[in-house]
Amino acid sequence: MPASPLLTMVLALLGVLMTWAQTEMKRVVGGNATLPCHHQFWVGDDPILDIEWLLLKPTNRQRVVITYFAGRVFDPNEAERGHVAFTGDYLKGDASLLISDLTLTDSGEYSCKVKTGAQYHWSTISLIVLAKPSKPRCWMEGKLLEGGDVKMSCKSTDGSDPIYYKWERKMDKDKYAGKLPPLTLIDLKNPEIVTLRNLTKDNTGVYKCTASNDVGEESCTVEVNMHYVRGMGVVAGTVVGVSFGVLLVILIIWLVLRKKEMKKYEEEETPNEIREDAEAPKASLVKPNSLSTSRSGSSTQSMASQHGT
């Protein structure tokens, strides 16, 4: 706020610094910044006017940005000509500096020094040039299985710190709800990472991550689709069913092979059984002498019977 005329007169007579500019300004890369600097001519002052803008970098290196001396404006930085200029009527008290197409290297503390005769006036302002976050990348880790967990991550590779991250869920066509589903786990140290726990079909939808800082924001989305996801119980049942089927096939193959072996064995044993069944029973062996004696005895007995008759 400008000082009162009486205070201004007293300070001017004492040759004291007068500051009317704000102390800090934040702007975005690619934009413009106007650094204020105002002065006054006093009655009886020397009409000679000198204006000098200086930039003090964090490395304590100081360089001249632009000057007005002896009725001429000097821009010592030929490579950046047109990058800086006086924005007002510096001869009538407005020595503000315009910086166009800001870059990160324009950040620093600027000093405006004005000499009017025997009096010195200056103002200082700290310019902070910030880059808004680059468009972040969203991705998921984990399988979309019912009852399982999936981790969603979001990261912006460029932009001035600090960068803040926020996840929200899209409910309608163009509306996002601030609340995430129940059981969602947010990493407090890394808020760009959230975990959807114990997934159900209710978790289906589009989720948006917004990366923001003091000068801008960008966002990305990721879709969680549970339409074609089988539950863990179904998967387990499928595994058990497949395993049982494999065992059943193995059992059938074993039975078929066993049956073939038995059939082959039976075919090999059948001829032997037939030969054993066809063999004639063994006859009793009779000695020849015994047979002759028997026959003679029979004949003698027959003849005796006839004589008796």
**Which CATH number belongs to the domain containing residue 170 in this structure?**
2.60.40.10
The pair phi, psi for residue 140, each rounded to 5°, is -120, 150
Cα separation, 128 vs 31, whole angstroms: 12
C-beta separation of 114 from 39 below 8 A:
yes
Nearest to residue 217, comparing CAs of 100, 136, 104, 303? 136
Nearest to residue 144, comparing CAs of 201, 229, 206, 239? 229
pLDDT of residue 177: 65
Cα separation, 73 vs 86, whole angstroms: 9
pLDDT of residue 176: 62
State the average pLDDT over residues 137-149.
90
Q: Which two tokens stand for residue 151?
A: 């981790």
If one counts every other C-beta atom within 10 angstroms of the C-beta of residue 168, the result is 17
Residue 137 confidence (pLDDT) above 80:
yes
Structural domain boundaries, residue 76: 5-130
Q: Classify residue 121 by burial, with Cβ atoms within 10 Å: 0-12, 13-18, 19+.
A: buried
Cα separation, 63 vs 55, whole angstroms: 5
In a domain, 300, yes or no: no
Residue 28 confidence (pLDDT) above 70:
yes
* Tally of structural domains, the chain: 2
Say if residue 156 is in the same domain as residue 206. Answer: yes
Say if residue 96 is in the same domain as residue 118. Answer: yes
Say if residue 206 is in the same domain as residue 163. Answer: yes
Among candidate residues 130, 148, 183, the one where a domain is terminated = 130
If one counts every other C-beta atom within 10 angstroms of the C-beta of residue 38, the result is 20
Cα separation, 279 vs 89, whole angstroms: 142
Say if residue 160 is in the same domain as residue 121. Answer: no
Give just the sign of the alpha carbon dihedral 162, 167, 173, 175. negative
Say if residue 108 is in the same domain as residue 146. Answer: no
Cα separation, 193 vs 190, whole angstroms: 6
State the average pLDDT over residues 38-57.
74
In a domain, 54, yes or no: yes
Of 128-142, 212-226, 269-283, minimum mean pLDDT range: 269-283
Say if residue 109 is in the same domain as residue 189. Answer: no
The pair phi, psi for residue 207, each rounded to 5°, is -120, 135
Strand order in the sheet with 164-170: 176-177, 164-170, 205-213, 216-224
**Can you give the pTM of this predicted structure?**
0.56
